[in-house]
Amino acid sequence: MLDSHNEAQVERQKVVTFDNVTKHFETRTGTTIALENINQHIYAGEFVAVIGPSGCGKSTLLRLLCGLEQPTSGKVLLPFNGAKANSAIGVAFQEHRLLPWLNIQKNILLPKLMQGSVNAEDEKRAMTLSEMVGLKGFEEKRPSELSGGMRQRASFARALFSRPSLLLLDEPFGALDALTREKIIADAEEIWMDQKFGAFLITHSISEAVHLADRVLVMSARPGRIVAEVPITLERPRTNFLSDPEFTRLCDELRHHLEL
C-alpha cells in the first residue's frame, strides 16, 4: 500500500494519462467506435506494450499521443507543451521513413536539421547514437546501401536523438526477419535500460511484448477497450530468460486474454 507521499510522487512521474478516452470515426456507412473508455497511464521510465487483434485501435492510441488525432471525448494528458513537445516525444514506425538522399548520420540528425542548424554537440550525439544502435562505421552510407535491419536501427536512433521523455514504437520490428528482429529487440532493451525513457510499444507479437515491457495492456476487438493488464516482473536483460518457464507462462497468459 502506498502512503500519501509516495502516491504524490508517483502522480508527478506520470508522462501520459488517458482519461476516459473515446474515439469515433465518421465513415460513409456510419460511425465507427475505435476506442471506448480508455483509462490508463505511463510512468516516467516505464515500458508499456499494447497487444490486441487487428483493427482494435492500438495505432489510434499512438496517433492520439502523437497529436495526429484528437479524442472524441475524454482527454490525453501529457506534461509537455509548446516548444518542448517537439523534443519530448520520439516516434519509430514499422516503416523506417528515412530520407533516401541523406546519409545515416544526417537522417539521425533530422530533428535538428528541420530546425535549421546543427552544432558540434549535435554531431557528437548522432555519432554516439550510431554506435549505440550498432551502426558505427556506416554513418556516411545512404539508406539504400543498408539492410532493412540497419535502416530500422537508424530510425530508432533518430527517434532517440532529442532525448525524448516518451518513445512511441509502432510495430518498429514487425517487418524484419526473425533473427534480425530478435537481435534488435535485445539491443532495444539494453538501450532502454541505459536511457530509462518512458516507452509505449504497439505490437502484434506476444513474445516481443513480454521481452520488452514492464506492463502489457491487452485490448479487445473493436470498439477497443483495455480488457487485461499484465505486469511483467522477469529480471532484465530478458534475453537470458527467453526459454524460462515464467516467460512461457506469461506468453500463454496473454494469449489466453486475446482468445477470450
Provide the whole-model pTM: 0.89
Q: Return d(Cα 102, Cα 44) in angstroms, integer.
A: 33
Residue 68's closest CA among 84, 46, 91?
91
Cβ distance 201 to 47 under 8 Å? yes
Q: What per-residue confidence (pLDDT) applies to 117?
A: 83
Residues in the chain, total: 260
Give the percent of the chain with pLDDT over 70: 92
Q: 168 to each of 91, 93, 156, how far by Cα in Å?
A: 5, 8, 10
Greater model confidence, 260 or 107: 107
- Do 174 and 94 meet the contact criterion of CB atoms below 8 Å apart? yes
In a 3-state reduction of DSSP, which class is residue 48? strand
Residue 260 has pLDDT above 90, yes or no: no
How far is 61 from 21, CA to CA, in rounded Å? Answer: 9
Cβ partners under 8 Å of residue 197, min gap 6: 45, 90, 160, 163, 164, 165, 166, 167
* Neighbouring residues of 206: CB distance < 8 A, sequence distance ≥ 6: 51, 251, 254, 255, 258
Reported as a single tens digit per residue, the pLDDT across 172-210 is 888 788 888 899 999 999 999 998 899 999 999 999 999
200-253 residue pLDDT tens: 999 999 999 999 999 999 999 989 999 999 999 999 999 989 999 999 999 999
Question: pLDDT band at residue 4, thresholds of 50, 70 and 90?
Answer: very low
Express each pLDDT in 68-91 by its tens digit.
899 999 999 987 544 344 458 899
For residues 185 and 173, the answer to whether their CB atoms sit within 8 Å is yes
Averaged confidence pLDDT in the chain = 89
Q: Are 238 and 211 in contact (CB under 8 A)?
A: yes
Amino acid at 21: V
- Contact in structure between 251 and 204 (CB atoms under 8 Å): no
Residue-wise pLDDT for 87-110, tens only, equals 588 998 888 889 999 999 999 999
